Amino acid sequence: MQHQNTSTNMNTVYRTTALLSAAIALGINIPGTAYAATLTADINASPSTLIAERPTPPPLPPKLVQKLQKTLDSTLSDSGSVGAVVGIATPVGSWFGASGQSNLNPKTEVSPRDRFPIGSITKTFVATTILQLVEEEVLSLDDTLNQWLPPDITQHIEYSDKITLRHLLNHTSGIYSYTEKLQTEGEKNPSLFIRDWTPKELVAYSGEPNIFAPGEKWSYSNTNYILLGMIVEAASGSSLESEIRARILDPLGLENTFFGGEEEIPGGYASGYLDLNEDGDFEDIVDGIPEDVTPFNLTQAWAAGAMVSNTQDLTRFIQALFAGELLAPDTFAQMRTVTDTGMEGFSYGLGIFSRDIPGIGKVWGHNGGVAAFSSNLLYAPDLGITYVDLQNSQPASNLAPTLTDVLLTSVPSESVPESTSLVGLLFVGMGLLAQRTRQR
């Protein structure tokens, strides 16, 4: 699969703006979402050309794999979505599946190992990096913005002497999300979606007062994580992408995970598509060229959502996080200390959110949305089940309910509970959180 040439036709960009803005609205209001896609260094290479392949875990039984693949194919086809990759890991085996296309021009089948932008799942990587610096006593969760960032940054932030790292991590800072403004102004000037941005420019771009005093309530803001990324760089003396690579990616062997907009991505990643005229397909309104929005620039998302990965690497990451490979027990407990979001059953910790499912326990994870791309990373510790899906078109297909239903009705009962009406809540709960915040 190849990306299209990235020399962007501005007429196409302007035609894209209306629906893109709607898609961005999905992204910026979801707990776990930032937006924009990126140019890659090797735009014509295939994401199937992996840097390295992880050892293949034991597979699920063949009949179950067939059921899962058939369900994925039919669900994706019924929704009209372009392509998706899914990873499911359980105590009795794993399955990594794919369906649809990674590119529409030329048509290329998606591979289970293809890479996709992961949006605000990036925030969990950033939060883990911050918490490692806290463990090393370089940072404290009670440190304020003023302690780490210079006046030319903090002058744009109200209460900068009172907002702490904890406020930023759990979205109780009250800081206005810069992507709200970028969405609105991008409708008038689509070139904003394509240009390179620096973190300092993103913070300054917001230019709006706090929506409440720090600690007063909860409101998701991508600006919080731009500031956290800047604090990582100030505290460590190196770039954010270098710290994430040295602390997480390299130790875990995540060789197909990259920081988009900052690192070269050999082989690139799947192309992304929007149904611009909402006619149920992805052919351009005027010239029939697929509506590829991949050139939208990931520097707009930076620490809020610029990373690129695949289902295998994300499965390894969330399992390592919960296995204690990245954080000490006390620090990980801090990460899972949650704040009330005001939405029943949903809570947000430090770069990770959860839903309480009666009879199952907490489901933890993050989701993301980057222009046409969407992502879900979910983990049920009490069951030892990980679920990941990555998609490359908007509107996205709601894959989790049918796939997890197949899983929980097929895996032996001694391994996981029998399927009940709760299965729809198990992984879809995070989707409900997304839906509720999209309406805000």
Give me the helix-helix angle, 178-188 and 222-236, nearest 10°.
Answer: 120
Phi, psi of 430 (to 5 degrees): -65, -35
Peptide bond into 395 cis (omega under 30): yes
The C-alpha atoms of residue 255 and residue 260 are separated, in whole angstroms, by: 14
The C-alpha atoms of residue 131 and residue 129 are separated, in whole angstroms, by: 5
Give pLDDT, residue 281. 67
Read off the pLDDT of each residue in 136-158 and give the average, rounded to a whole number.
97
**Cβ atoms within 10 Å of 209's Cβ, excluding its own:** 11
Asked whether 16 and 291 are in contact (CB, 8 A), the reply is: yes
Q: How far is CA 352 from CA 120, 132, 339, 355, 423, in A?
A: 10, 15, 11, 11, 21
pLDDT band of 411, cuts 50, 70, 90: low
Phi, psi of 375 (to 5 degrees): -150, 150
201 has a pLDDT exceeding 70 = yes
Q: Find all residues with CB under 8 Å of 412, minimum gap 6, and list them.
A: 92
Phi, psi of 214 (to 5 degrees): -60, 135
The domain locations on the chain are 10-57+96-326+365-396
pLDDT band of 83, cuts 50, 70, 90: very high
pLDDT, the chain, mean: 81
Q: Tell me the per-residue pLDDT of 319-351, one tens digit each, with 9 for 90 and over.
A: 999 999 999 999 999 999 999 999 888 999 999
Confidence (pTM):
0.84
Cα 95 from chain centre: 21
Class of the domain covering 10-57+96-326+365-396: alpha beta
